Amino acid sequence: IEESIVAGFGRSYYQTWQNALAAKLSGIELELRKNLSFIPAKYGFVNMNTNLTLSSSEVNAPDSSSLYIVAEGNSAPDIVKIFNRVTDKTRPLQGQSNLVFNFSMNYKTPSGLDLNLVYNTFSRRLVALSGDVAGSYWELPFHSLNFVTKKKFGSFSLSFRIKNLINDNVVIAHDFNGK
């Protein structure tokens, strides 16, 4: 099920969801976890984790979608069959990046302090379908570096996190008629 934005009348639009006719997804994920033993165990443990996912997806979209519209005064929705003007009938699966990369370093002390530095990035991915309104919406690659710390005090714990340390921007772009 994928989100689709369909033109209404004038400048209005409908946000709806549609099923694809068929889809294919293939890929591979590689993961590495390593305990780095350069710090003596009495001071804690340092771990490195990384994974890389490479994938390919293809969705075949239908020519029409069913919109459920609740008109004022009606208790049941009217079902309206509309033509789907999405320009790419064959496209990647919504939300699927061809590349996802994660890396983290973790330091745990015997006293219950946990420090984590986490990096994540991905290739562009389809957010919402639309050929009518402004073109399909794509999230462009984003680089995220986050810091998370947690301290345990018996059965109680205190957490602190800082997100997006490199201050990268989330960018949603339109792809209208292949542009």
Quick one: pLDDT band at residue 104, thresholds 50, 70, 90?
Answer: very high
Pairing of strands 143-153, 64-69: unpaired
User: Is the predicted pLDDT of residue 80 greater than 90, yes or no?
Assistant: no
User: Is the predicted pLDDT of residue 79 greater than 70, yes or no?
Assistant: no
List, for residues 127-171, the tens digit of each pLDDT value. Answer: 887 766 567 788 999 999 999 999 998 899 999 999 999 999 999
If you write DSSP's letter for every residue of 39-51 in order, what string do you get?
Answer: S-GGG-EEEEEEE
pTM: 0.78
